[in-house]
Structure 1
C-alpha cells in the first residue's frame, strides 16, 4: 500500500532573542521521533526507530537539522526586524514524501506564517515560491532562493533520502504499522425534546484509522441525510481512534435500529449493536 513520511516543525518567535522550537516525524500516523527541547537531540519514540538507520546517518541528520534550524531562525529573525514584524509570531513547517504502491512518490515542503500559507518549495525545480502577497513573504522568498546550497540539500533530502529512509522505517516498523486494535461500540439514546430521539453509537479504541459505521433501520442501511450525523475520526491518548454516529428518529416509531461497525481488525465479521 501507500505510505507517508512527514516531518513537522513549529517555531514560536517570542522576541528577537527567544525562539521556541518543536519538531516531530510521523510514519503514516505513528509519531516515531521528536526533537528534544533545548538540546536539539533526536528522541527515538519506538524501539525499532534507531536500528533502522546506521549510527552515522543519525549523526548526519542531527547535524543537518541543527544547521538548518540555526540558519532558519537567524534569517527569519533578521527579516522580522527588517520589516518590523510584530512579536510573537509563529512559523509552521510541514515537509516529507508520500510513497505509492506503483513505486511513484510525491514530496513537499510548506511553510505557514501565523497559520496562513506563506511559502512553498518546488522540489523538482529547486525553487521557492511565496504563497501570500506581503513584503515579508517576498523577502523570505528572495532570501531562500539565494541560499542555493540549502535548496540543493533540501531537494536531495526530499527526492532521495526521504523515500530511502521511509523504506527502512517501513521494514523495521512493520509490527507498529500492522497493529490491529478492534473497536468497542456502545449504543445509547438522548431525548433533547419530546418529539425527537437521538440514537448515539459511540465507537472507540480501534486502530488503524479507517472504519465504517452505519445505522440500520429494520435491517436496512440508513442512507446519508439530515437525520444522520457522524463525527470526524478523532485520536485517543493511547494511539487508537474514536468516533460517534448520531441518528435522529421519532420516539416510538415502531422501527428497530442497530449500529453496524466494520473494521480491518474484525476481518469479515461486523459488530452489530441493537438499540433498546
Structure 2
C-alpha cells in the first residue's frame, strides 16, 4: 500500500502550515518540509524511482497544488463561517494486489473527523459527516469533472506505476528480513502470583506469532494471558510483550515460542527457568 498523508494547520485567514509524508507499506518514503515545501527522500533509491515517468513532473508541480489547497480551504472557511484554527488532513494512495489489480482511495478529514471521501472508480465525492463544510465541499468538487478525472488517474494509474518503480529500486529495503530476539523473565507482583514475560524485539517484517507453551501445549487465550500490540522501534523493526500469569511453583514447565518469516520453518523456543 502506497499512502500519502498531508496535514494542514490553518491558524487564521493569513497563515497555513502544511506537512506531508509518504509511506510504502510501513517504510517511510519521503517527507515534505513545512518550511519551504522541499522534498526529503528517506532512501537513495526513492530519488531514483521519483525520476521515472510522470512522478518527476508531479513533484515539480507540488507548490502549485499546495497553494491551491491553501486557497481553497480559506475560501470554504469564509463561506461556511467556520472558526480558526482548524486542521485539515488528507490521506490518499492505492493498494496493488498480487493479481495486478488495484484499489485507490482519497479521504479528507477536519479536526480528526472524516469530512468527505472520493470514490475513485465512480469519480464521485461523498459526504462522511453532516456539516455545512462537507456539503459545500462535495457540491464544489462534484461539479469539477476535470479534477475528478485527474484524481482517478492519479489514484489508479500513476499510483500503481509509483509502487512498481519503488519496488524495483528498493527491493532490498522493502523485502528485508530481520531475525527476532526473544528473552524471558519474571515479575512477582504478589507472593501468590508470578508474571512470566516474553519480550520479542528487532524483527521485521511486522507479522509475527508469539505463544506460551505449558508442558509443551499452547496456552489458549484467557484472562491469564496478555499480549501487547506490536510496537515500532526507532530502527524500522518491531517489538512486543507477551505476559502469562501463573502460580509460583505450580509444577508446570513454561516456554515462549516465536514464529516469524525470517526464521523460515524454524521456531524460537525460550524456556522459563
Q: TM-score, normalised by structure 1?
A: 0.94
Tell me whether 1:86 sits opposite 2:61 in the alignment: no
Structure 2's unaligned 5+ residue stretches are: none
| Secondary structure of 1:75 counterpart | helix
Structure 1 residue corresponding to 2:12, chosen from 6, 15, 23: 15
Instruction: Using the TM superposition, give the Cα deviation of residue 58 of structure 1 relative to its aligned residue in structure 2, in angstroms.
Output: 4.3
Aligned pairs for 1:59-78 (under 5 A) are 59-78=56-75
In structure 2, relative to structure 1, the CA distance for the partners of 1:227 and 1:243 (3 Å cut) is same
Inter-partner Cα distance in structure 2 for 1:176 and 1:59: 22
Inter-partner Cα distance in structure 1 for 2:212 and 2:110: 42
| Secondary structure of 2:121 counterpart | coil
CA deviation string 1:85-135 (max 9, x = no partner)? 222211111111111111111110011111111110011121111100011
CA deviation string 1:26-83 (max 9, x = no partner)? 1111111111222212221111111124367444112343222211111111111222
Structure 2 residue aligned with 1:158: 155
Aligned pairs for 1:1-276 (under 5 A) are 4-54=1-51, 57-276=54-273
The question of whether the paired residues in 2 share the 8 Å contact of 1:76 and 1:140 is answered with: no
Which shows bigger deviation, 50-59 or 101-110? 50-59
Inter-partner Cα distance in structure 2 for 1:113 and 1:90: 6
Instruction: Using the TM superposition, give the Cα deviation of residue 147 of structure 1 relative to its aligned residue in structure 2, in angstroms.
Output: 3.1
| Secondary structure of 1:101 counterpart | coil
Structure 1's unaligned 5+ residue stretches are: none
Which shows bigger deviation, 83-92 or 28-37? 83-92
Count of matched residue positions in the alignment of Structure 1 and Structure 2: 273
After superposition, the CA RMSD in angstroms is 1.5
Inter-partner Cα distance in structure 2 for 1:132 and 1:64: 31
| Secondary structure of 1:48 counterpart | helix
Instruction: Using the TM superposition, give the Cα deviation of residue 270 of structure 1 relative to its aligned residue in structure 2, in angstroms.
Output: 1.3
The question of whether the paired residues in 1 share the 8 Å contact of 2:50 and 2:56 is answered with: no
